[in-house]
Every structure is written in structure tokens, then in C-alpha cells.
Chain A
Amino acid sequence: MQKQAIFQSRLLPYALVAPQLAIVLIFFYWPALQAVIQSFLLQDAFGLSTTFVWFDNYIELLKDPAYFEAVVRTFFFSFAIAVSSLSFALLLAVMADKPLRGSMLYRTLLIWPYAVAPPVVGVLWIFMLHPSLGVLSRYLRAMGIDWNPLLDGNQAAALIILAAAWKQISYNFLFFLAGLQAIPRSVFEAAAIDGARPMRRFWTVTFPLLSPTIFFLLVVNIVYAFFDTFGIIDTMTRGGPGTSTVTLVYKVYTDGLLGGNLGSSAAQSVILMIMVIVLTGIQFRFVERKVTY
């Protein structure tokens, strides 16, 4: 696609792209390149000398059980967050898609959590479910659950998943609602005339027609769970207890900051970059498919 009507100028277009190009080169490409170079280097304990070590940092990483655990954990978190948030949001969107009185009000009341920052989400949820002072912890303990997410790794993980899924409901709801509203009403009517009950109509008509939206949201939710959960984890558990809530991004952060292990941190960054490239690639392929739908 190209414009037919254009301007002629030798220097102006370069001046116009210059600011963005400068920022992109200085703050994106240069650091990304540094990360790649750094990932092939090994610094001694005092930072006095560096040696080129080929793929040693990567091999170390892949042999490190802690890294492997973080990979598994991150994928598990992503899956759990995506599934729980998507299903709840889909339920709400299907309900809100009905011609109800006050449907605009419902939409407003369901989309605002999109604007709540991840660290704030973390603070809100740890406060509610804090072992000693949380208002919900009382009830959990009354139910006989020994609730202490600050000591129990599984409970900490559950808390992170819950909080992260909560934040993502509004986003998913909005896109599901848009997807539902794009389905022509006549399709439902045809199915109803054929005698399909509402539940059956949902699984045989709505759900398949919504599958592009579901797939798109699945990718977005996974990317969200990879990156945006950082703020939630950092305010809620700081990766603890032990390492039971350390995700890949959190590990890049702590290994580089506290451990000072820059080579390993850089290698982790490069692996993350590759994952983002794959995920973005999947997303774009899908977007192209949606156009031909």
C-alpha cells in the first residue's frame, strides 16, 4: 500500500523521522545489542576483567534447576491467569451482551480496573488476604484453612494468580463484548429457530464464532502474565517465600540487581526477547488471518 499523492523533499522526511529514530536507536537497539554481547561474556568477581565465553552463560542457565523452575512457574502462572480471567470475563460479557436495562452502566462498572496499576493491585490484594490483618483471612481461617501466603509458597502463588487475573478481567471483558457484538444477531435467531437451547447455542454458535477473539486474548494474557505481573509480585511477595513466586522477569531483575550476575541476567534477557518475538509473531499471524475471515 502506497500513497499516490506525495511531497518532494530531500531533507524534510529525515528531519521528521529523526527524533523517533534517535530514541529507538539509543534506548532500544543499543541496550538490546548490549544484552546480547553481555550474554556471551563472563565477568570476574571484582568486575576487573571480562572474558568471552561463547554460550557458557546460556548452558549454565539451562543446567540451573532454579531457572528451569522459574520457566515452568511462569508458564503455569500465565496459563492459570489466562484461563481464570478469560472464563470469568466471558461469562460477564455474554451476560452484558443481552439487551438489558442499564447495559452501559454495567460496562462502565466493569472496565475501570484496567486503569489500576499492577503494584497497586498487589497492595490491595495483600491487604485483603494478609495473614494477620486481612479482612478475608479471618473467614479463611474460620473455614479451617491455615492461611499464610507469606510462609506457604503454594498459597503465595495462588494469591498472585488471583490478583493478576482480577486486574485482567476488565480488559478481557471489553474485547469479548466487542467480539460478541460483532456477531450478527441473525445467526442466533437461526439457531433458535432450529430449536437450539441457550446453552447449546452458546457452545455451537457463539463460542466458535468468538474463537478469533479468544485466541487473540489468550496471547495478550500470556504476554501480560509474563511482564505486567512484575509489579504485583514485587509489592505482594517479592518472589517469596523462598523462590515460590519468582517469574522469569522477576529473576532477570533480582539476578542483575542483587546478585550482580550480569552475564546470566543478560542471557535471561535474550531468552525473554526470543519469547516475546515468538509471541508477537503468533499474534501478527493471527491478525492477518482475522482480516481474511
Chain B
Amino acid sequence: MVEQEGFRRYVAHVILWIGIAIVAFPVYIAIVASTQDNALIANGQMSLLPGGHFFEVYYQTIFVGTSGSTREPVGNMMLNSLVMALAIAVGKIAISIISAYAIVYFRFPFRMPIFWIIFITLMLPVEVRIYPTYKIVADLHMLDSYAGLALPLIASATATLLFRQFFMTVPDELLEASRIDGAGPLRFFWDTLLPLSRTNMAALFVILFILGWNQYLWPLLITTRDDMQTIQIGIRKMITTTDALTEWPIVMATAVLAMLPPVFVVVAMQKLFVRGLVETEK
């Protein structure tokens, strides 16, 4: 760097720590609140230091739920979220990689129109087509089912584009070599292309898992049964009741549990996460 002034670096450290504090503060408050007594919080006298109800609150949250009308253990909601997130991530990768393979490695009538049909879906986020999509899912009897939660969110132009781009960079010699070895298209895909795509698939998986876990509007519309709720929906229902009845420690414990898996994925797989994020946005 140009100037080696100690003072400027010192300022940089201070600004970064302030930034980190601002970013972390709401979550710190949530963690603290999830270990305290509800009466104290409801009186507006919450302490800024952790309380002693950690095990009690989390036990009730995960295995019992709130005492109100939406009495559903959060553990079950997390399971629903997990199934949905995995179905979306794995489903998107699976259907995108095979369609990208067809588009790159074959010549067939309607190849480009099909590519464009997939590509244009980039412009139709679920928010702009909620009620008609809801109606179709209802007609297919998929309300309150994992299929209904995942399928409408599974088609992904981004993933198809990403794999297409990657396949274009794979040297042609690989295909010729495996052809000499007598491999057909499926064998080549399975033995050569798939292993080469491993990093791309992992990076994409990290991003798609987070996006899937964090889905809100769609599950909100199509789940009516309490036992099909995802955690994001559950947390909203917990604060529906009038303020006085909201059990804030449980709400905050649920918020912490809702953040835990995706935040863990970001921190533990940071390299893949950054790569996936940058590549899907290209």
C-alpha cells in the first residue's frame, strides 16, 4: 500500500469494528432476549446481559412451542424448512444440470427456443405470479405438501445458465477421448462432466440452500396446516397475537434457530458461498 501511516490503519480497524457491532447488535439482542424471563421483557425492563433461562426457553421452543393457539414445536418447523430447502437446492441443481447438458452437447430442433423459454423465467419471480400459481398448485392437490412447497420454486434459469457457461469451457478433447473409449452420452455425463462440475455444484448448493431455507411468501400462501409450517412462517404467527400475549423469549429463540443453519453454512463454507454468490449474479 502507498502510505504506511499507523493512524489510518487504526481508524480503519475502529470503523470496521463499529460496522461489525452495528451488524451484530440486533442478533445479540435476540440471543440475550431468548435467555430471559418474559415478564421482564414485557415490562420493557430487559437486561442487556444474558439471563439464566437458556435451557428452559430453548427446550420449550424446540419441543413444545408457544402456549398460544399456534402450538407447534419449532423442531418440527425446522424439519419442514430443511426438507423444503434441500428439495429446492437439490431439485434445481439436478434439473438444471441435465438441461444445460442437453443444450450444450446436443443439436436438436427447438434447441434455442427451449433455451430462451428457460432463460426468460428469470423475469418471473414468484411474487409477480402468486395467485395464479397458487390456483394451479391447489388444482394439482399440492397445498400443504412438500411438493407444493418446492416444485414452483425449483425451476432456475440462473443455474442452467451457470452450468451452460461452465460446460462451454470444458475442453472438447475430453469428449473425444471418452468417445474413443466407447462411452455414450450418459456415460460421459456421469463419469467425466459430473465430477468436473463438483465445485460449481457445491457453490450453487450453498446459495440455493440459503435461499430455500429463507423462503417466505410462497410457504405463507400454500401452507394452512400448522404441522406443515416452515420456521419462517411459524415465527410470524407467534407475534400475531396482541402484544401482551406474545412470548418474546420463545419468539427470539425461534429467530435464533431460524438463523442458525444458513448462517452456519455461510461461515463454515465461506469460500463456496462467495463463489456461488458471485457466479449466480453474473
User: Which of B52-60, B66-74, B262-270 is found at the contact surface with chain A?
Assistant: B262-270
> Known interface pairs A21-B118, A95-B15. Does A133 touch B155 (Cβ–Cβ under 8 Å)?
no
The 8 A CB mask of B249-268 against A (1 = contact, 0 = none) is: 00110010011001101110
A6 touches B106 (CB 8 A): yes
Q: CB-CB < 8 A to B48: which residues of A?
A: 135
Q: CB-CB < 8 A to B117: which residues of A?
A: 21, 24-25, 29
- Max count, chain B CB within 10 A of own CB: residue among A12, A169, A287: A12
Q: CB-CB < 8 A to B136: which residues of A?
A: 26-27, 30-31, 34
B99 touches A17 (CB 8 A): yes
Q: Give chain A's interface residue range (CB within 8 Å of chain B).
A: 35 or more
B105 touches A6 (CB 8 A): yes
The 8 A CB mask of B203-234 against A (1 = contact, 0 = none) is: 00000001001101100100000000000100
User: Which of A40-48, A51-59, A75-83, A261-269 is found at the contact surface with chain B?
Assistant: A261-269
In the complex, number of A-B residue pairs with CB atoms less than 8 Å apart: 283
* Interface membership of B63, Cβ < 8 A: no
B46 touches A135 (CB 8 A): yes
* Interface membership of B3, Cβ < 8 A: yes
B282 touches A265 (CB 8 A): no
- Max count, chain B CB within 10 A of own CB: residue among A3, A30, A253: A3
Interface size of B by Cβ–Cβ distance < 8 Å? 101
The 8 A CB mask of B97-118 against A (1 = contact, 0 = none) is: 0110111111110010010011
Mostly, the B contact residues are helix
Q: CB-CB < 8 A to A140: which residues of B?
A: none
* Interface membership of A142, Cβ < 8 A: no
* Interface membership of A210, Cβ < 8 A: no
> Known interface pairs A119-B236, A252-B127. Does A127 touch B33 (Cβ–Cβ under 8 Å)?
yes
* Interface membership of A146, Cβ < 8 A: no
Q: CB-CB < 8 A to B51: which residues of A?
A: none
B130 touches A252 (CB 8 A): yes
B1 touches A98 (CB 8 A): yes
**13 A-B residue pairings within 8 Å (CB atoms):** A6-B106, A7-B185, A16-B98, A20-B98, A20-B118, A96-B16, A98-B8, A99-B1, A114-B210, A116-B214, A124-B30, A256-B130, A276-B124
> A interface vs B, CB < 8 Å?
1, 3-10, 12-14, 16-17, 19-21, 23-32, 34-35, 38, 88, 91-92, 95-96, 98-100, 106-121, 123-128, 130, 132-135, 137-138, 166, 169-171, 174-175, 178, 185, 188-189, 192, 198, 220, 227, 230-231, 234-235, 249, 252-253, 256, 262, 265-266, 269-270, 272-273, 276-277, 280, 287
> B interface vs A, CB < 8 Å?
1-3, 8-9, 11-13, 15-16, 19-20, 22-27, 29-30, 33, 41-44, 46, 48, 94-96, 98-99, 101-108, 111, 114, 117-118, 121-125, 127-133, 135-136, 151-152, 154-155, 160, 167-168, 172, 175-176, 184-186, 188, 210, 213-214, 216-217, 220, 232, 235-236, 239, 243, 248, 251-252, 255, 258-259, 262-263, 265-267, 270, 273-274, 277-278, 281-282
